[in-house]
Chains A and B, each alone.
Chain A
């Protein structure tokens, strides 16, 4: 009996210390969405149970190994205890009840996460290897996701190629983005700040770099940003290179082609126009209009040396005018 009391006290002590220690470490990032609150509530409950069960298993094993260890000169076997049916039933029934409660709570928190606000803003999200683009109700596309605080938004997400996954750690929620199907991501930001969406489903070579800024701001700042974007879109839309620049963003071209000379999965566009390009077969060509048009409409026709990648550039369904706009835009990148 004495041993059970000591072990009981030790279990409670170790469980409490584990719980305090784990909480002290701040295991989760900031809570930046209304949905993160039920998730963290359930998580903390998990931590309670984990701390207790860890102590419940480890403490009696450690205690027994120390206290009941074989004494010098003792060659006999231990006590012949075959089992105890009521104990076995107890540690079947109690865990069964606990897991059923957890399953119920899991379903309940899932319901809280999915509460729909019918007036939620709708933003279209397009994911391709390896870029995110966001099309706002106002009709323009950006590489950044701007959200007003305390207002639910629903992201209508679709992939142009393979499976991606939309994850902002501070929002807690994650949703895969599929080709040929629209998935929803419903979120209510509650904390102003700058975050990152990070693709969480392996999507090929540059998966690690498939990120985009997520900016949660006050309604006033959000409105100002929207107005500024609309104005710049309107003025850019006047010229071919302006339209080309917008296309490069909305199509996701810049996920693989930088405009600052750095190397991603595809050649950088900086200084490309008019330069001599060495191809994978050793020949060189001049990057003129004809070359660029061919490379956009038939990406695999000529491969630049050093870019014989495993994942070739996909074909985009573009009009001739759009292709010319893109070429005009590339020509401005000296």
Chain B
């Protein structure tokens, strides 16, 4: 406990609260001097809450100490080049500059948000188990549904950063990320962002879904503003961490690691970072405009003042569609990275898979208005967006066919390792998401499907198959690298076999009732539609998924100390990080390596991917 109260996390939280109160009081004081109403429904007025929230987030950064080195530099003071972390668990709640520690921090924060977002969904899933309102009010239903969306999205972004941060420098042979302090800064933006998002619950919630469309978002309670602020702060984190990943991969690769000898996951990380770096600003901007419309009465999206609500949708989706590729490209990269290790065959069509990631990232920028076929935008615009949207199927298809060819004639050792099960599950569930996509892309069919449970089923499949299952695969796969121990395989398999079939049932039923008339985002449904039994089964499936996640956590925390020791190359992988003992030392490879072969030449005798430099003998041996 003492360690917690002296941690950067605790100091940050404390300062966030203080900054929040000071900022809000400052605005209130000015309002008093100006003769405006100082207090409103939720204590402070809306401008006070917003300014306070912003000051609070900045205070968190100051209080946690993540800015300290930069302040020192500004004053001309020296800082240690090599940061030393403490040995215990407390390094994970303190500022660290080690990409591996930051990667684990991201991953733990992602898992925490996954649990929070999951609990939200369990609450309203239970509410939906039968028609009528059971225990939630309409406003609470909408708030929990909206928060489920955004908390999961932020959780996914953190999870991606976690895997990328941990593994990319190891894969390319770098001793750290290009900008370690910026890396820490990006991570430490996440906790205040999460606090801001969750604080919306105390300020009336918000009832717009994570899409925040005006004019509804202009009328929502103050909680809406906390949602906007939270997303803006989290987006900041995403932009900076993408910048860091791109710089790291461009500048810090091992000798001989040319573009087409990069591990395939690095290609996915690059593609996803390009999107995150260039598109995230758009969602921040669109939310900021609504924020200003609320605070200052600016009429950006108010038709009465010459504004246009559809403009918001364009701005919003210009980020938020590419964002789904930010979520899935790293997941697909994990699938491509792990498949060859388990099937003991080269990755089929390496260059095609690498280029398909870039292809998806590029085409992904040209499809945003397919979310708006029914919105009332210019009717003829729908046709070019239909063409561009369907084009995404081509590079996605290349990935699927290449995976099939990689698995074909592969020799997998049974019983399947848990990580391989999750890779397979990811392929199957993402395939379901992919195949339910084209009917949404063609305008005529989308006019029926838009805003129904069909869409809910579709995108849950893409995100679960494209992110959640590969994320678990990555955790089971690289857990020994981080801890020197393996996670329990029996519990891992139980986790998989409870989670994946339940999830498939859940989303298939979503699609089924969506086609028959179940709209998305409704707190209650018409009993005459006969959906009650479907919803009951879906609720049961959701609880089985929750149980499987609980089993995962038991396995995870137990294995840190009690797992079977695994310090060697447990997966018999060719990848450089497995050629050195686990857990990885603080500054990664003691000897630099040189790339001398192809990354996935499994089955080729005497071929190696990397060769480590001879150990220097400096006088003593």
A238 to chain B, nearest CB (A): 36
Contact A205 B345 (CB under 8 A): no
* A43 adjacent to B394 (CB under 8 Å): no
Which chain B residues (373-407) contact chain A, with CB distance < 8 Å?
374-376, 379, 382-383, 386-387, 390-391, 393-394, 397-398, 400-405, 407
Query: Are A81 and B394 in contact, CB atoms less than 8 angstroms apart?
Result: no
Q: Quote the shortest CB–CB distance from A218 to chain B (angstroms).
A: 24
Cβ of B560 within 8 Å of any chain A Cβ, yes or no, is no
> Of the candidates A25, A95, A174, which one forms a contact with B451 in the assembled complex, judged by CB atoms under 8 Å apart?
A174
A88-B348 Cα distance, complex, nearest whole Å: 9
Contact of B522 among A112, A180, A208 (CB under 8 A): A208
Contacts A54-B431, A180-B303, A209-B524 given; indicate if A81 touches B348 (C-beta within 8 A): yes
Residue of B nearest to A162 (CB): B216
> Is A330 at the interface (CB under 8 A from chain B)?
no
Give the residue of A42, A58, A114, A196 whose beta carbon is less than 8 angstroms from that of B428: A58
Q: Is B86 an interface residue (CB 8 A)?
A: no
B142: A residues at CB distance < 8 A: 202, 204-205, 207
B138 an interface residue at 8 Å Cβ cutoff?
Answer: yes
Interchain CB contact under 8 A, A207 and B522:
yes
Alpha-carbon distance A204/B382, docked complex (angstroms):
27
**Interface contact B350-A96, CB-CB below 8 Å:** no
Contact of B345 with A78 in the complex, beta carbons under 8 Å: yes
Q: Is B84 an interface residue (CB 8 A)?
A: no
Q: Interface segment, B4-12, B88-96, B204-212, B584-592?
A: B204-212
Contact B386 A95 (CB under 8 A): no
Give the total number of A-B pairs whose CB atoms are below 8 A apart. Answer: 264
Contact between A82 and B219, CB atoms less than 8 A apart = no
Q: Is A277 an interface residue (CB 8 A)?
A: no
How many Å lie between the Cα of A170 and that of B522 in the bound state?
A: 19
Set of chain A residues within 8 Å of B523, measured between Cβ atoms: 207-208
Contact B407 A42 (CB under 8 A): no
* Partner pick for A91 among B304, B391, B397, B411, CB 8 A cutoff: B397
Interface residue? B526 (CB, 8 A): yes
Q: Note all chain B residues with C-beta closer than 8 A to A96.
A: 391, 394
Interface residues of A in 15-65 (CB under 8 A from B): 25, 27-29, 38-39, 42-43, 46, 49-50, 53-54, 57-58, 60-61, 64-65
Most chain B Cβ neighbours within 10 Å, of A27, A29, A82: A82
Specify the chain A residue showing the minimal Cβ separation from B431: A57
B512 and A27 form a contact (CB under 8 A):
yes
Given contacts A68-B410, A95-B393, A310-B139, contact A82 B344 (CB under 8 A): no
Which residues of the other chain, B, contact A77 by a CB distance below 8 angstroms? Answer: 344-345, 411, 602-603
Residues of B within 8 A of A107 (CB): 383, 386, 443
Q: Is the CB of B445 within 8 A of A205?
A: no
In the assembly, what is the distance between CA of A208 and CA of B376, in Å? 22
Which secondary structure characterizes the binding site on chain A? Answer: mixed
Task: Check if B519 sits within 8 Å of A162, measured CB to CB.
Answer: no
**A165 part of interface (Cβ distance < 8 Å):** yes
Q: Nearest-CB distance from A298 to chain B (Å)? A: 17
Cα A215 to Cα B401 in complex, Å, equals: 49
Cβ of B443 and Cβ of A110 under 8 Å apart? yes
* A83 is an interface residue with CB less than 8 A from chain B: yes
Smallest CB gap from B310: residue in A: A178
Q: Are B398 and A43 in contact (CB under 8 A)?
A: no
Residue interface bits A304-329, CB-to-B below 8 A is 1, else 0 = 00000111000000000000000000
A271 contacts the other chain (Cβ, under 8 Å)? Answer: no
Chain B residue, CB-CB nearest to A91: B401
Q: How far is it, in angstroms, between the C-alpha of A236 and the C-alpha of B380 when the chains are bound? A: 45
Q: Which of A38, A64, A165, A310 has the most CB of B within 10 A?
A: A310
Contact flags B517-533 to A (C-beta < 8 A → 1, else 0): 10111111110000000
Q: Do A206 and B450 have beta carbons less than 8 Å apart?
A: no
Q: A39-B448, A181-B376, A201-B451 are in contact. Are A46 and B219 (CB under 8 A)?
A: no
Determine the distance from Cα of A232 to Cα of B481 in the docked complex, in whole angstroms: 80
- Taking a contact as CB atoms under 8 Å apart, the answer to whether B345 and A49 are in contact is no
Q: Check: B408 CB closer than 8 A to any chain A CB.
A: yes
> How many chain-A residues does the 8 Å CB contact rule pick out?
84
For residue B412, which residues in chain A have a CB less than 8 angstroms away from its CB? 65, 69-70
Provide the residues of chain A in CB contact with B139, threshold 8 Å.
205, 309-310
B349 touches A (CB below 8 Å) = yes
The reply on A163 being an interface residue by CB < 8 A is yes
Which residues on the B side are within 8 Å of A200 (C-beta)?
Answer: 374, 450-452, 519
Given the complex, which residues of B lie within 8 Å of A105, measured CB to CB? 442
In the bound complex, residues from chain B placing their C-beta under 8 Å from that of A68 are 408-411
State whether the Cβ of A10 lies closer than 8 Å to any Cβ in chain B: no
Q: Which residue of A lies closest to B397 (CB)?
A: A95
B414 within 8 A of A: yes
* Residues of B close to A88: CB separation below 8 A: 349, 352, 398, 401-402
Q: Is B179 an interface residue (CB 8 A)?
A: no
- Residue among B351, B408, B431, B435 with max Cβ neighbours from chain A (10 Å): B408
Given contacts A29-B516, A103-B390, contact A83 B216 (CB under 8 A): no
B604 within 8 A of A: yes
Closest residue to A104 on the B side, CB-wise?
Answer: B387
Chain A residues near B524: list those with CB within 8 A.
Answer: 208-209
Q: Is the CB of B526 within 8 A of A196?
A: yes
Interface pair A205/B442, CB less than 8 Å apart = no
Query: What 0/1 readout, one digit per residue, does chain A (159-190) give for beta carbons within 8 Å of chain B?
Result: 00111010101001111101111010000000
21 pairs across A/B with beta carbons < 8 Å?
A27-B512, A43-B445, A43-B448, A49-B438, A60-B408, A61-B403, A61-B404, A69-B414, A70-B414, A78-B411, A78-B603, A80-B346, A81-B409, A83-B350, A103-B387, A105-B442, A106-B445, A161-B215, A174-B374, A174-B447, A198-B519
Which 7 pairs between the two chains have the least Cβ-Cβ distance? A180-B303, A106-B442, A80-B603, A169-B517, A109-B444, A208-B522, A99-B390
* Beyond A176-B376, A202-B216, A207-B523, 13 additional pairs, beta carbon < 8 A: A28-B448, A29-B517, A60-B407, A78-B411, A82-B348, A83-B351, A95-B393, A99-B394, A102-B442, A107-B386, A174-B447, A181-B376, A208-B524
